[in-house]
Each structure stands twice: as C-alpha cells, then as structure tokens.
C-alpha cells in the first residue's frame, strides 16, 4: 500500500474530457462546439495575421534570446496591457495607481488575484467571493484552492434567457458589506449575456454602497464586440468612479495566443495622495507571490503581444483581425437564428442573436445535448452552452436541423 491510498479518483475535467471525446469521434459530420477557441469558416484554428507579423519580427530580431523575464514580467508588455484595458488616458495610469504583473494567461491572473486577496484582503466577517450563477467553472476551483469561501449571485434567467437583473441586485444588496464580487467585464462565460451600461451603473452604485471589492475578469476584450474600448467600458467606468479594484486580463482569445499563456493582473488603487505608495507595497507583495509560484512568467507570448500592442501599424491590423473574428461570430449567430426560423423550430431563439461573444447559452436541456451527441455527433457542454466559433457556413444548417429535431 502506498501513503496515498486515500486519494480519491477525481473526475476528468468535464470540458477537456468532452473535447477529447469529440476529437476521437471519426464521423466526418461531427461538430465541435465545446472549447472556447476561435475557428475560421473552415473550422480551423486561426493565427491572426498581426500575430504572424509580430512572430516574424521576433524571428529576425538579432537581440532575441531566451533569458528570464523580470519577476513581474516584460515591462513593455505589462504597461501596454494596462493602457489597453484601462485606456491610454486613464487617470489611474497617469497617477501611478496601477500595479501590473504578467501572468500565465487569464487563469494565472485570476489565481494571482485570488491568492493576493486571500492573503491581504481584510475579511473580518469571513466575507465571501461572490460568483455569478452560472460562471466559468474554473472560478470555483481557483478561489477554493486559495481558501476563500464562495457564494453566488443570480445572473441568468432561464425564462428570458437574458440577465436576471433583479436577482443580481438583490443578492449584492443582501451580501455582507465588503464582500468580493467577481464580474465578467464583457462576453460573460458561459451565458453570452452582459449587463447594459445602465445596469452597470446600478451595479457600481450597490458595490459602492456596500463597500464590496470588485474583481473583474476580462477574457474577451475586443473579441466580444470587435471594439476594444467598448468591451472595456465597465472597467473604465468603475475606475472613473474612483473604485479600488483588480482586473484579470487574458490575451488568449483576442490575440489567439491560447497556448502561449499571455495574461496580466492589474491592481488599481483608488485616487488618494498615498495611492502611489500603496501601489509600491502591493507590487512588492505580488512579486513575492509570483516568485514562489512561477518565479518568472513565460517570455515568448508576451513578446508577441508586446510587438502588436506597441506598434501603431500592427495594432491597427490587430483591430481589423478582431473585427473579422467578432464579425464572423455575429454573422453565424444570425445564420443560426435564421435557419431555426426557416425550420419553424419550437421556441423563441432570439437570444442567439442577442447574446454576445464566444458563447451562446442555447437553453437546450441536458437530455437534448446528449441526443445531439448520440444522433448527430454534435458536441457541446451539458449546460447547453455552444462555442459559436465552432459553427460556420458549412455546418450551421446541419446543426440547426439537428436542434430542430431534438426540441420537437
């Protein structure tokens, strides 16, 4: 017997398990709607043209080497990342109220933030981290791993397939003052449902009144609407309002750098004469946490991102690439909606075109999802979420017909 007899067998990650099952399926009509990764109209991964060019610049750089980055990451990258998310004229940047640390993509940024809060955020009443219901499944694990207790706030209304704003407001109002509130900055995963600007204003009011701490997770800036500023609106609004907050930023989707693990964690202090000093102390602690976990972040993806973000021409080309990706997804939403309409499919499907970003929460039940897999080789998570990028002009009709059949 080993010392680890008591280690229970954990289930495989449901998402990546399903993705593997799809990969193993040999049917040539199969449709992969599982993982949130962009695919072109031929269902192939897409290297952004701006990224290809940045890659070529790095390949030809005589000064390129494989040395360690500083603990907090590549400065040219982290500063550009802060300007991207906060806006280049952000008062927070001008007043040196921003601390930025390069992380292992968005997951690493959420984790570093969680770890920092677990260690330093005062929670005299054992305040919880409030997650939207539903949310990206990994949020639960990341915050639980650092010992922070979880709570949830209503988010998705099964009836309207839109935001349960009443429920959300009531939950934020009734939670203990000083709770941590995790917010998706845009393109909410898994629902594709975002608050309107008016609703964000009300959310900010409640958070201020309750002295909650807002933690923004931003995995889809520019990918959601095709407009970088539009997708960062909520974060910039909170900062304009003088909040103290943090942001986990991922470049997986918007630069298509999934496997390179490019991300950034930003902590923003509120305006005050001591803000710059507070930031120095916070940066010093983040550096210690980072050192003990990964020592230094990976260099390659950050160099690519930095090349794109810091070059005017490449940046403009990247914005075109973002419009192309988000545009294709919007067109696909419309095509799916139209097809379901043509087929006279049971139910109201307008949420397909109202929802935004990588995912659509279709409202399909677990049973229907299972049937789609068994009868049509269509793979999606059992909560009825589809990765829109998996649909394209060749398979959208096949998908619509299969959906039509399972809801009848």
Among the listed residues 253, 318, 349, 373, the single catalytic one is 253
Q: Residue 219 or 352: which CB sits closer to ligand PMP? A: 219
128, 217, 231, 317: which one contacts ligand PMP (CB under 6 A)?
A: 217
Give the distance, in angstroms, between the CA of residue 396 and the centroid of all CA atoms in the same chain: 25
105 binds ligand PMP (CB under 6 A): yes
Q: How many residues bind ligand PMP (CB under 6 A)?
A: 14
Residue with tokens 């997770």: 217
Residue with tokens 């000083």: 178
253 is catalytic: yes
> 47 to each of 62, 80, 155, 252, 254, how far by Cα in Å?
24, 21, 34, 12, 11
For CA atoms 93, 99, 102, 104, give the dihedral sign.
Answer: negative
Residue with tokens 């001008």: 94
87, 263, 298, 301: which one contacts ligand PMP (CB under 6 A)?
A: 263
Q: Closest distance between ligand PMP and the C-beta of residue 134, in Å?
A: 11
Q: Residue 188 or 373: which CB sits closer to ligand PMP? A: 188
73, 87, 106, 256: which one contacts ligand PMP (CB under 6 A)?
A: 106
* Residues 126-155 interacting with ligand PMP (rule: CB under 6 A): 136
Burial class for 104, CB neighbours closer than 10 Å (0-12, 13-18, 19+): middle
Q: Residue 107 or 179: which CB sits closer to ligand PMP? A: 107
> 400 to each of 14, 113, 187, 267, how far by Cα in Å?
25, 41, 23, 44
* Residues 44-63 interacting with ligand PMP (rule: CB under 6 A): none
What values do phi and psi take at 130, rounded to 5? -95, 120
136 is catalytic: yes
* Torsion angle defined by CA atoms of residues 244, 250, 255 and 257, in that order, rounded to the nearest 10 degrees: 160
* Residues 10-39 interacting with ligand PMP (rule: CB under 6 A): 36
Binding mask 176-195 for ligand PMP (x = CB under 6 A): --------x----x------
Among the listed residues 46, 136, 200, 318, the single catalytic one is 136
112, 252, 282, 372: which one contacts ligand PMP (CB under 6 A)?
A: 252
405 is catalytic: no
Active-site residue set: 136, 217, 253
């Amino acid at each position: 017997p080993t010392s680890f007899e008591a280690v229970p067998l954990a289930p495989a990650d449901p998402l990546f398990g399903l993705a593997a099952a799809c990969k193993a399926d040999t049917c040539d009509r199969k449709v992969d709607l599982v993982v949130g990764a962009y695919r072109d109209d031929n269902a192939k991964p897409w290297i952004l043209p701006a990224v290809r060019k940045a890659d070529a610049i790095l390949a030809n750089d005589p000064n390129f080497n494989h040395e360690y980055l500083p603990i907090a990451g590549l400065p040219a990258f982290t500063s550009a990342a802060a300007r991207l998310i906060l806006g280049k004229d952000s008062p927070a940047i001008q007043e040196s109220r921003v601390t930025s640390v390069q992380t292992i993509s968005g997951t690493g940024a959420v984790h570093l933030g969680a770890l920092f809060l677990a260690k330093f955020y005062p929670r005299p009443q054992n305040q919880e981290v409030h997650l939207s219901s539903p949310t990206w499944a990994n949020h639960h694990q990341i915050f639980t791993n650092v010992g922070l207790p979880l709570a949830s706030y209503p988010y998705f209304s099964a009836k309207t397939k839109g935001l349960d704003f009443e429920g959300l407001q009531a939950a934020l109002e009734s939670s203990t003052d000083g709770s941590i509130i995790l917010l998706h900055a845009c393109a909410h995963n898994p629902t594709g449902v975002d608050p309107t600007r008016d609703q964000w204003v009300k959310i900010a009011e409640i958070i201020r009144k309750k002295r909650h701490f807002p933690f923004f997770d931003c995995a889809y800036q520019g990918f959601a609407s095709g407009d970088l500023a539009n997708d960062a609106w909520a974060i910039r609004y909170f900062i304009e309002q003088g909040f103290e907050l943090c942001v986990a930023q991922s470049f997986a989707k918007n630069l298509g750098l999934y496997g390179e693990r490019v991300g950034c964690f930003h902590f923003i202090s509120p305006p005050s004469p001591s803000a710059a000093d507070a930031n120095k102390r916070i940066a010093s602690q983040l550096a210690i946490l980072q050192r003990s976990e990964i020592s230094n972040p990976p260099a390659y993806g950050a160099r690519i991102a930095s090349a794109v973000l810091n070059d005017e021409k490449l940046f403009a080309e990247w914005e075109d690439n973002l419009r192309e990706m988000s545009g294709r997804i919007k067109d696909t939403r419309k095509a799916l909606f139209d097809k379901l309409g043509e087929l006279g499919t049971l139910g109201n499907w307008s949420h397909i075109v109202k929802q935004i970003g990588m995912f659509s929460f279709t409202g399909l039940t677990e049973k229907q999802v299972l049937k789609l897999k068994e009868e049509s080789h269509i793979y999606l998570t059992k909560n009825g979420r589809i990765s829109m990028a998996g649909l394209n002009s060749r398979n959208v009709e096949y998908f619509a017909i299969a959906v039509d059949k399972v809801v009848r």
